[in-house]
Amino acid sequence: MRPAGTPPFPGHDDLEQARRAVAAAAVRTPLVRLPLDGPDGAAVYAKAENLQRTGSFKLRGALNFLAALPPATRARGVVTHSSGNHAQGVAFAARHYGVPATIVIPEGAPRVKVEGTRALGAEVVRCENSQAARHGTAERLAHERGATLVPPYDHPWIVAGQATVGLEIAEDLPDVANVLVPIGGGGLAGGMCLALAERAPDARVIGVEPELAADARDSLTSGTRTAWPAADLTRTLADGVRTQSIGELNFAVLRRYLAGVRTVDEASIRRATAWYVERARLVAEPTGALTLAALTHLLDGRGEGPTLAPGPIVVVISGGNVDAELLCRLLEDPET
């Protein structure tokens, strides 16, 4: 049952509308067969959102949100806050629609994501690295400029846009049995659950978090949204999931549909990031490598949480925006 006050889940018509909005400017990313096998020889594929036009799935939600705004409202511009990938998604979507974008990015965000946002024509405003500072700065700027605030993850339009990743997986791999998806604010994981519940209802959706940023695991275990201190989240290399708590709408969706959450250690994240380059010839940021790290745990029988169902496996590479210096260090020695 959905908690009182939670917005309605996006339905079939919402997902179809999102599909059209996303197709107007995003690319349909491929399922790439990876050079490893699951249990009993099951095929393993990567949904390569690192090949999206902004290097991340976040473009999808941003495009759908801006498409849904009345034209006069959209013309006044948009504001958002993000550690980087949502920032680039909103900047790209705003450029696509020819409207101004102001992006609040906390200190400590990867340089490649900050520079990518500016390159797309958005104004970047920096703030302290806390959820309160991010929200407060973005809300103030939106009020001052008469612009619309674009939520990073906790909104039906955003969730429906991210759900298009799941729609494509179901169409390209109808017998998909397992999808591993990273969880930050829960927009992608929630959208994945909704899309597959409709298009591939037998598929098992498994969420993945770092051990050092496991607020979704704690929330789903306790039955109450749980927040982690911002200072604690900086310990993980997976900057894209340093969200202090999952969204209200997304929490309701995940409670209903998600098979559970697997957590992974930092060493596994580093090794998975390096593996993608060396073995699959793909560049994934550490957040994008979370799902491969979790799959290695599942294949080795490590850790606790949901297990794999028999059949094909998809690991979602949520993004590929990684600083070159960090990637070089990981390739030189992924153990440090």
194 plus 276 within the same structural domain: yes
Structure tokens at 190: 């929630």
Across the strands, what pairs with 124? Answer: 103
Kindly list the distances between the CA atom of residue 16 and the CA atoms of 10, 27, 49, 123, 318, in Å, as whole numbers in the listed order: 10, 16, 20, 32, 21
| 7 lies in some domain | no
| 186 lies in some domain | yes
| 189 lies in some domain | yes
| 4 lies in some domain | no
- Residues annotated as catalytic (active site), given as ranges: 58, 318
Domain boundary residue, one of 85, 119, 149: 149
21 plus 141 within the same structural domain: no
pLDDT tens for the chain, 336 residues: list them: 344 455 689 999 999 999 999 999 999 999 999 999 999 999 999 999 999 999 999 999 999 999 999 999 999 999 999 878 999 999 999 999 999 999 998 888 888 888 999 999 999 999 888 778 888 999 999 999 999 999 999 999 999 999 999 999 999 999 999 999 999 999 999 999 999 999 999 999 999 999 999 999 999 999 999 989 877 778 899 988 888 889 999 999 999 999 999 999 999 999 999 999 999 999 999 999 999 999 999 999 998 999 999 999 999 999 999 999 999 999 998 886
Task: Please give the helix or strand (H or E) that residue 297 lies within, else none.
Answer: helix 290-300
Tell me the DSSP string of 234-271.
TTSS-GGG--SS--HHHHHHHHHH--EEEEE-HHHHHH
| 208 lies in some domain | yes
pTM (2 d.p.): 0.94
Domain boundary residue, one of 99, 116, 149: 149
Contacts for 219 with CB less than 8 Å, ≥ 6 apart: 225, 226, 245, 246, 251
List the 31-37 sheet strands across, edge first.
31-37, 43-48, 313-317, 178-182, 204-210, 260-264
- Chain centroid to CA 232: 20
Q: From 154, 260, 267, 270, select the one nearest 214 (Cα to Cα).
A: 260
184 plus 328 within the same structural domain: yes
216 plus 70 within the same structural domain: no
Q: From 188, 217, 214, select the one nearest 288 (Cα to Cα).
A: 188
Interatomic CA distance for residues 63 and 52, integer angstroms:
13
67 plus 178 within the same structural domain: no
Q: What is the pLDDT of residue 1?
A: 36
Among all chains, which residue has been given the structure tokens 């959905």? 2
Burial class (CB in 10 A: 0-12, 13-18, 19+), 329: middle
186 plus 224 within the same structural domain: yes
How many domains would you assign to the chain?
Answer: 2
Name the DSSP letter for residue 213.
G
Q: What is the pLDDT of residue 131?
A: 76
223 plus 298 within the same structural domain: yes
50 plus 64 within the same structural domain: no
Q: 290 and 269 in contact (C-beta within 8 Å)?
A: yes
240 plus 180 within the same structural domain: yes
Q: Which domain holds residue 86?
A: 59-149
172 plus 262 within the same structural domain: yes
3-state SS, residue 80: strand
Q: What is the pLDDT of residue 7?
A: 62
Q: From 309, 305, 295, select the one nearest 37 (Cα to Cα).
A: 295
CATH number of the domain encompassing residue 188? 3.40.50.1100
| 6 lies in some domain | no
Burial class (CB in 10 A: 0-12, 13-18, 19+), 39: middle
135 plus 191 within the same structural domain: no
125 plus 254 within the same structural domain: no
Domain boundary residue, one of 113, 128, 149: 149
Structure tokens at 296: 């290695």
Name the DSSP letter for residue 209.
E
